[in-house]
Amino acid sequence: MDLIELTRTLIRFETVNPPGEEEDCARFLGRMLEAGGFHVSYHALAPGRISVVAHSPVPGGDQGATVFSGHLDTVPFGSAAWRHAPTAAHMADGKIFGRGASDMKSGVAAMVLAALAEGARAPVTLILSAGEETGCEGARSLAAQGRLQGPVRALVIGEPTANQPLIGHKGALWLEMEARGRAAHGSQPELGDNAICKAIEAVQRLLAFRLEAYSHPLLGSPTINVGTIQGGNNINSVPDRAVVGLDIRTVPGIGHETLRAALQDHCGDGVRLRILADMEGFASDVEDPWIQNIFRLVRPFVDQTPEPRGAAYFTDAAALTAAYGNPPTVILGPGEPSQAHQTDEYVYTRRVRDALAIYRSMLQSG
């Protein structure tokens, strides 16, 4: 199938997460890969939610296969009106519009066709995952079930980077902070213990924690965002419980449980911190020969000379890189970073074609 038409076809599969429903899209791609001689297996995350693992017929040998990874789910359409239906895959002005156009069905299309073109000569594995947008659920499930087999030469994550190579990303540690108090009538607050006030005091202490002490040369310092706060049942009562949602973006070298314990000590005994989600970051060695080769391959296709950079967001590399034994990993895909999760999301067709050429060159050069 033509690359642009394959991208449009994938956009037309509605895989909004939640609920996901990636199965039809996954099996469509699985059939393409099976027809191209790949060994394909399907792995259920939940009913209607399927991830695909496909291996080319060429054995990896001691060096191992190159692994291409892309996710099939998308974020919801949002409440704002779209100029064109989100699954219509409308084309205009050298762009394809639709949910997932940049994030990241164009990358998946380019990876699949690159693998089909080169898979008879180069060892390549494709991982097309469900559930990335809600915490890398599909990739983490594959890792937990032992579905990821090496050896692996390198890992390529096709998230939207406008084909610029990123060689690391921050991790994500999502915490629930719970404060407990004692209820009382709102007219007599001195008889109660206000859980919301305790939570606010703990948040203020938390925001004073010196995260810059954990700074990383590629990814900078960790960050903390207070994302949600809930507490109280009615305005005229002293609240006896408050819950705060915390999004901490970490850098490699920080043990997440160690960090949680340090934050707990800093906040004091008045609150309890519990881990909700735990996605590790990674940083590849810029001097690795495979990484250096990627920088050379990409240079003719990008507007700015590639240089070592990382991403603040997490990807399926949070699960896959460690599971594969920490091979050199790059995030590189045709989508526009500014278009991820946006209304009227689009991708440039020229970037999709360039991504196919880059991915094929990766496999040809080993």
- Segment 27-49, tens digit of pLDDT: 999 999 999 999 999 999 999 99
* Burial class (CB within 10 angstroms; exposed 0-12, middle 13-18, buried 19+) of 201: middle
Q: How confident is the model at residue 1 (pLDDT cuts 50, 70, 90)?
A: confident
111 near 316, Cβ under 8 Å? no
Bridge partner residues of 245 (DSSP): 176, 228
- List, in order of start, the domains of the chain with CATH numbers: 3-169+281-365 (3.40.630.10), 171-279 (3.30.70.360)
The mean pLDDT value for 44-62 works out to 93
The mean pLDDT value for 72-98 works out to 97
Flag whether pLDDT at 61 surpasses 90: no
Look over the chain and give the mean of its residue pLDDT values, rounded to a whole number: 96
320 near 69, Cβ under 8 Å? yes
For residue 22, the model assigns a pLDDT of 98
For residue 362, the model assigns a pLDDT of 97
Q: What is the pTM of this model?
A: 0.93
Tokens, residue 60: 């990896």
Flag whether pLDDT at 236 surpasses 90: yes
Q: Strands 168-169 and 91-92, how do they pair?
A: unpaired
Tokens, residue 238: 């002293």
Secondary structure (3-state) at 245: strand
Flag whether pLDDT at 118 surpasses 90: yes
Tens digits of per-residue pLDDT, 245-277?
999 999 998 899 999 999 999 999 899 999 999
Q: How confident is the model at residue 343 (pLDDT cuts 50, 70, 90)?
A: very high
Q: How confident is the model at residue 366 (pLDDT cuts 50, 70, 90)?
A: confident
157 near 318, Cβ under 8 Å? no
**Percentage of residues of the chain with pLDDT beyond 70:** 100
